[in-house]
Amino acid sequence: MNQLQLLKTFSTIVADTSDIDSICKYKPEDATTNPSLILQAVKSSKNQKFVDQAITYAKKKGGLYKDKIINASDKILVDLGIEILKYIPGYISSEVDARLSFSKEECILKAKKLIDLYEEQGISRNRVLIKLAATWECIKASEELKKDNILCNLTLLFSFAQARACAESNVFLISPFVGRIYDWYVSQNLLSKSSTEKDPGVLSVCKIYDYYKKYNYKTIIMGASFRNIQQILHLSGCDRLTISPVLLKELESNTSIFKRQLNLPDVFSIPTVVLSEEEFRWEHNQDPMAVQKLSEGIRVFGKDQLSLEKIFEKKI
């Protein structure tokens, strides 16, 4: 048994890619995409048919020029998601435009639009996770969307305050970013690149896992953004792990045995305090890494969304 096969006995494996060949090879349960991965897919010649479909849809839909650009971008996001769903049994995560991350109302509208696009093509909303940045506005949007059976994946999660607010809002799934936390500590010379012990990204997920399980929260924890397989193996037993094809390949080629690291507690408690918006913002603000990485992540995803729209601007 290789490490990937063994890992699958401890955690649900999710492919962090839009590449169909990789999904077929590693047979994950779910798949996640983000604006960067969608942009990469659009630039590939093998996905030209999806670009053409999006342009045809946008032109037929009509409206102002900017509306056509947005409609084409939404359409290709959904069509690539539908293609991926042909090869996995579980969920596809599709991300809302990061530029909407500070508007609860706009996120709700966009999420419903994406779900409508999926359902118009025969895909149940029960197979789609709407990805939102873990801002206060998006967490509350997710809470509202769940009432309409629209499930969300709260991404760009770096602080414990974000994790608490998500659990207390009954968010379906969170994606704490292990690798990006690690990157920040290395960039600040607070951690050596060769260090495998006390990895702050790994410790962050361990803390969230222990807290969620202690208080019996149902929100799924999906470790994300890994830099090496050691980070992944240290989180074996986490509910889900979303892994890039490069690291899936490395796990598959390694046969070293490892033990499950995260385990359920023996005793469960009942939480008595819920974070208010003011408390959330203050607690999150106390973590400079989380503040910086959340802002940076939203900016980068927003930039990639803009690059995607520019591709359609030249074609419509």
Q: What is the Cα–Cα distance from 192 to 201, expressed in whole angstroms?
A: 13
Gap between the terminal Cα atoms of the chain: 50
Q: What is the Cα–Cα distance from 35 to 17, expressed in whole angstroms?
A: 11
Question: Helix or strand or coil: residue 110?
Answer: helix
How many CA atoms lie less than 13 Å away from 12 in the CB half-sphere? 15
Q: What is the Cα–Cα distance from 154 to 4, expressed in whole angstroms?
A: 25
Express the helix, strand and coil content of the chain in percent, nearest 5 each.
55, 10, 30
Q: What is the Cα–Cα distance from 233 to 151, expressed in whole angstroms?
A: 28
At residue 254's C-alpha, the angle toward residues 248 and 259, to 5°, is 90
Domain boundaries along the sequence of the chain: 3-313
Tell me, yes or no, if 315 is annotated catalytic: no
User: Which residue out of 75, 104, 110, 131 is catalytically annotated?
Assistant: 131
CATH 3.20.20.70 fits 3-313, yes or no: yes
pLDDT in tens, the chain (316 residues): 999 999 999 999 999 999 999 999 999 999 999 999 999 999 999 999 999 999 999 999 999 999 999 999 999 999 999 999 999 999 999 999 999 999 999 999 999 999 999 999 999 999 999 999 999 999 999 999 999 999 999 999 999 999 999 999 999 999 999 999 999 999 999 887 766 668 999 999 999 999 999 999 999 999 999 999 999 999 999 999 999 999 999 999 999 999 999 999 887 888 778 999 999 999 999 999 999 999 999 999 999 999 999 999 999 9
